[in-house]
């Protein structure tokens, strides 16, 4: 019996791999006809509250694409909803609060998360997925900055003006807010790993809105609390954000095993920017532009080769897109990428 860890975990630990592992952020979703058929018109929060359904939505892309990882079907706001924050996830828009956070008093609306009683459906989903597949499951949580941005803006934002106002005008309230969110995301990730997730990803999707100095003062400490709070568990940790070209060095120092890179910075350049910041070896994840996946397949596979070329000297590489799959993506293109990456990187 082969007892070596899955190729995803080997790559994340910078160990030798038989081939480069591949998965896609937002691989479950509207680009899959079987997803649309199963989801129907209900809210995503209803879907994640149904473990059988959430497990099936987690497994659909594994079957269709032959990816090297499943990612839990959930959302970054699920733990906040579980502790009673009034959030609706509106189709086509995203998370919207019934009452946004505007002052220090609002931090009191965040009580500690008790995963076994607050997130039973999420933990049951993980257990069902493990029973159904040998492919490793990635759990995830929102990073404090990105979650705080939804709480403070009251919904998706382009400027993050209210978030930055709070950060600069009331730094103590800001740090209390981020500290409370960090404990919630940490508790959720620990529970996901203990339930069987093989790796986790901390999504700081919108942190690219910050300057490096702002990142180091206002976002990094709470993200580090989460990543270092998982250090005693065996599951490798991925740290990802969008528009983070200027933040790669401090992000690499936050305590993750893998740094997720968006499509704007080639992976060899990203590695040079991160060099010397991480305490040990750092694997990179990424970074094909999701919009390129809308082009003809030969163009997509050429772009895939450029990503593989830029990753050639890395100690560890997990192939992914630079952000989530766009809904209009042809599933056949994603399947072709998986096969191509596997073929091109297969060790003789």
Footprint on this chain of ligand 1CP (rule: CB under 6 A): 25-29, 44, 71, 73, 75-76, 89, 91, 94-95, 140, 146, 156, 203, 205, 324
Between β-strands 94-97 and 87-90, what pairing exists: parallel, antiparallel or unpaired? antiparallel
Rg (CA), the chain: 19
What CA–CA distance (Å, rounded) separates 70 from 121? 17
Active-site pick, 30, 100, 224, 264: 30
Q: Which is nearer to ligand 1CP, 14 or 72 (CB)?
A: 72
Compare residues 15 and 133 and give the one whose CB is closer to ligand 1CP: 133
In the complex, residue closest to ligand 1CP by CB: 94
Which is catalytic among the residues 65, 68, 118, 150? 150
Active site residue 330: no
The distance of closest approach from Cβ of residue 125 to ligand 1CP in the complex, given in angstroms and rounded to an integer, is: 11
Given the residues 13, 35, 39, 289, the one annotated as active site: 39
Q: Are 92 and 29 in contact (CB under 8 A)?
A: no
The DSSP H or E segment spanning 89 is strand 87-90
DSSP one-letter code for 106 = G
Does the annotation mark 26 as catalytic?
Answer: yes
Nearer to ligand 1CP (CB atom), residue 17 or residue 48: 48
Considering the complex, what minimum distance in angstroms separates the CB of residue 75 from ligand 1CP? 4
Residue 98 annotated as catalytic: no
Least Cα distance to 66 among 347, 348, 340 occurs for 340
For residue 346, the SS3 value is coil
At closest approach, how far in Å is the CB of 3 from ligand 1CP? 29
Nearer to ligand 1CP, 25 or 274 (CB): 25
165 is catalytic: no
Q: What are phi and psi of 182, to 5 degrees?
A: -60, -40
Q: Which of 35, 65, 75, 237 is catalytic?
A: 75
Distances (CA, A) of 1 to 4, 5, 8, 68, 279: 9, 12, 19, 19, 34
Catalytic: 2? no
List residues with catalytic annotation. 26, 30, 39, 75, 150
């Amino acid at each position: 019996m082969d007892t070596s860890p899955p190729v995803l975990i080997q790559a994340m630990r910078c160990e030798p791999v038989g081939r480069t592992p591949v998965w896609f952020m937002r691989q479950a979703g509207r680009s899959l006809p079987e997803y649309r058929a199963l989801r129907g018109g209900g809210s995503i929060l209803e879907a994640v509250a149904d473990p059988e359904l959430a497990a099936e939505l987690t497994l659909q892309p594994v079957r269709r694409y032959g990816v090297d990882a499943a990612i839990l079907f959930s959302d970054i706001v699920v733990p906040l909803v579980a502790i009673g924050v009034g959030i609706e996830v509106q189709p086509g828009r995203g998370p919207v609060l019934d009452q946004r956070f505007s002052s220090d008093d609002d931090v009191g609306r965040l009580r500690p998360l008790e995963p076994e009683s607050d997130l039973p459906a999420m933990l049951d989903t993980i257990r069902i997925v493990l029973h159904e597949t040998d492919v490793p499951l990635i759990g995830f949580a929102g990073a404090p900055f990105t979650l705080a941005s939804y709480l403070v803006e009251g919904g998706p934002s382009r400027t993050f003006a209210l978030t930055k106002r709070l950060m600069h005008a009331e730094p103590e309230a800001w740090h209390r807010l981020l500290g409370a969110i960090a404990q919630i995301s940490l508790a959720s990730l620990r529970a996901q790993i203990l339930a069987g997730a093989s790796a986790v990803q901390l999504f700081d999707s919108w942190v690219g809105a910050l300057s490096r100095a702002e990142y180091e003062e206002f976002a990094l400490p709470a993200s580090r609390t989460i990543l270092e709070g998982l250090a005693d568990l065996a599951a490798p940790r991925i740290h990802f954000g969008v528009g983070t070209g200027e933040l790669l060095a401090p992000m690499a120092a936050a305590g993750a095993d893998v740094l997720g890179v968006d499509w704007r910075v080639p992976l060899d350049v990203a590695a040079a920017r991160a060099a010397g910041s991480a305490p040990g070896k750092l694997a990179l994840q990424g970074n094909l532009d999701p919009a390129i996946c809308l082009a003809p397949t030969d163009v997509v596979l050429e772009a895939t080769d450029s990503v593989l070329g830029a990753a050639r000297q890395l100690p560890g590489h997990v192939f992914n897109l630079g952000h989530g799959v766009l809904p209009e993506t042809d599933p056949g293109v994603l399947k072709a990428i998986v096969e191509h990456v596997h073929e091109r990187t297969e060790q003789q």
